[in-house]
Amino acid sequence: MEKIFLFDTTLRDGEQSPGASMSLDQKITIAKQLEKMGIDVIEAGFPVSSPYQFETCATVSKTIKDATVCVLSRAVENDILKASEAVASAARPRIHTFIATSPIHMEYKLKKDPETVIDMAVAAVKYARNLVPEVEFSAEDATRSDWEFLYRIVEKAINAGATIINIPDTVGYTTPDEYGRLIKAIRDNVPNIDKAILSAHCHNDLGLAVANTLSGINNGIRQAEITINGIGERAGNAALEEIVMALNVRKDFYDFYTDIDTTQLYKASRLLANTIAFPIPRNKPIVGENVFLHQSGIHQDGVIKNKKTYEIMTPESVGRVSNTFTFGRQSGRNAFLQRLKDMNIEIPSDKKDIIYSRFLEIADAKKEVYDEDIFSIVNDELGTKTVFFKLDYFNIISGDVVEPTATVRIDKTGKILKEAATGDGPIDAIFNAIDKITEIETNLIEYNVQAVTPGREALGEVSVGIEIGGEYFAGRGSSTDILEASAKAYVNALNRYMIKTQID
């Protein structure tokens, strides 16, 4: 079996999802999780784009020891120089330089003729190779490029020193059959292709990113560029967990392997979802809550007799627990901490008492606490480390014959502030009161509620999306009280805005 190298771009392309910006601490946490699960290459960011991006890339480079740390640059000398400085401390540094190769991009975006584009690509790769031992070259918008032109620029990039050649479907335009034929054609028509690893970076605009990547693998791709939960520009990228489990479950068809510890997939998915406040759809392949649930009587009967009748993988194989435990106050601290270990959840020693106390509060409110509740509790407590606003207290007066009124108290970096406001409903009143305290003008774009577990006493997760100054910020909060969860989510989104203003 041949190995498929996995190149994770959650921290770079993934962060380009509207509202998915992360603090430096959050990026380091995600990078450590990627390293722990066995990712081969971590793309840390785009150093030249801002001082914050440079700092992030440099810090990831210093922190990560077991994976290659890669950074992005345009085919421009200053970009490449900054990139080399950002990965100077990496155990295994890589520069990923790119230039557009499709007619529409060359004419309208670059305003360059094809020969100039080839010259720029060659110069960029040569310069980068003099600064770092490993260079990846990407032909941006490759799937809408002229194939003969692609053969030429790929051959010259390899001669210039590129050892990884990326063939990206930048706008999610291609189809599996077409992409497979393109990869095969490159292998057949580029004479020095044996000196480089072919890579796929597929976007999901037509819902084909995973299928296109797998088709590429069947035709010569040996590096797959992916993101956790498939986040990324527009409709996102090929999902890490889906690519890994497709190769894992269908070993009979895909004669390849990865070095991924698949039991870390669910943890990584939940970690990212809670970090950027993007809820995981219940029907999301591999990591969605419905994946191992069966409602049809026929399906239930089959699973009881033999799980393989309707389950092509086990919950344990992706880091989920087959027999979901329920806990209560009587379970005890040691049993709770052991359960965290069973769920592959690691928490700092100084946070154990805080998280256990939160567990007891939830246990008092709903009597039985499920694994999904525990994930929410941990992510609430270990979420955004930089907190400008913290919900201290709220009170609601509401009903069908009174105007909803909220009184809210916020801890604003150590100063307690209180305001009251009315609204169309209790949640609107809470948000209006918070706006008065923070003095930030917001526009509520999204508001979603979902029960984490079954039953009337279920822990509820609320996610909100707000617009401030034309930018989108997401937040999440959980509680058995939906009003409290809503207030927490709104405050969480405001904290993300404050972090972003500091970064900028």
Is 323 a residue whose pLDDT tops 60?
no
Burial class (CB in 10 A: 0-12, 13-18, 19+), 90: buried
Amino acid at 245: M
The second-level CATH assignment, the architecture, of 2-276 is: Alpha-Beta Barrel (3.20)
| Greater model confidence, 412 or 102 | 102
> 383 pLDDT band (50/70/90 cuts)?
low
Read off φ and ψ for residue 466, nearest 5 degrees.
-125, 155
Q: Mean pLDDT lowest for which of 21-30, 34-43, 56-65, 190-199? A: 21-30
Question: If you average pLDDT over residues 420-436, what whole number do you get?
Answer: 96
Bridge partners, residue 5, by sequence: 223
Average of per-residue pLDDT values in the chain:
91
What are 128-162's pLDDT values in tens digits?
A: 999 999 999 999 999 999 999 999 999 999 999 99
d(CA 101, CA 106): 6
> 332 pLDDT band (50/70/90 cuts)?
confident
> 454 pLDDT band (50/70/90 cuts)?
low
d(CA 72, CA 225): 13
At a CB cut-off of 8 Å and minimum separation 6, what does 304 contact? none
393: number of Cβ within 10 Å: 12
Q: What is the pLDDT of residue 230?
A: 98
Question: If you average pLDDT over residues 291-306, what whole number do you get?
Answer: 74
Q: Are strands 443-451 and 256-257 parallel, antiparallel or unpaired?
A: unpaired
d(CA 394, CA 408): 4
3-state helix vs strand vs coil in the chain, percent to 5: 45, 20, 30
Instruction: Please report, to the nearest 10 degrees, the dihedral formed by the alpha carbons of residues 137, 140, 146, 148 taken in order.
Output: 0
| Greater model confidence, 476 or 302 | 476
What are 337-382's pLDDT values in tens digits?
A: 887 877 777 788 888 888 888 888 877 776 667 776 777 777 666 6
At a CB cut-off of 8 Å and minimum separation 6, what does 218 contact? 180, 254
d(CA 35, CA 33): 5
Q: Take residue 150 and report the two structure tokens written for it.
A: 């692609």
Q: What is the pLDDT of residue 386?
A: 58
d(CA 186, CA 171): 20
d(CA 243, CA 218): 13
What are 229-269's pLDDT values in tens digits?
A: 999 999 999 999 999 999 999 999 999 999 999 999 999 99
Q: What is the pTM of this model?
A: 0.84
Burial class (CB in 10 A: 0-12, 13-18, 19+), 334: exposed
List the end-to-end C-alpha distance of the chain, in Å, as a whole number. 46
Question: If you average pLDDT over residues 206-226, what whole number do you get?
Answer: 98
Q: Take residue 368 and report the two structure tokens written for it.
A: 């039985």
Question: If you average pLDDT over residues 165-184, what whole number do you get?
Answer: 98
389-503 has CATH 3.40.50.10490 classification: no
At a CB cut-off of 8 Å and minimum separation 6, what does 359 contact? 327, 336, 369, 374, 377
d(CA 223, CA 165): 9
* Contact indicator for 243, 222 with CB cutoff of 8 Å: no
Q: Are strands 223-226 and 197-202 parallel, antiparallel or unpaired?
A: parallel
Burial class (CB in 10 A: 0-12, 13-18, 19+), 194: exposed
Kindly list the domain boundaries of the chain, sorted by start residue.
Answer: 2-276, 292-319, 324-381, 389-503
Q: Take residue 494 and report the two structure tokens written for it.
A: 């405001």
Q: What is the pLDDT of residue 6?
A: 98
> 79 pLDDT band (50/70/90 cuts)?
very high
Is 502 a residue whose pLDDT tops 80?
no
310: number of Cβ within 10 Å: 15
Q: Take residue 114 and report the two structure tokens written for it.
A: 């094809």
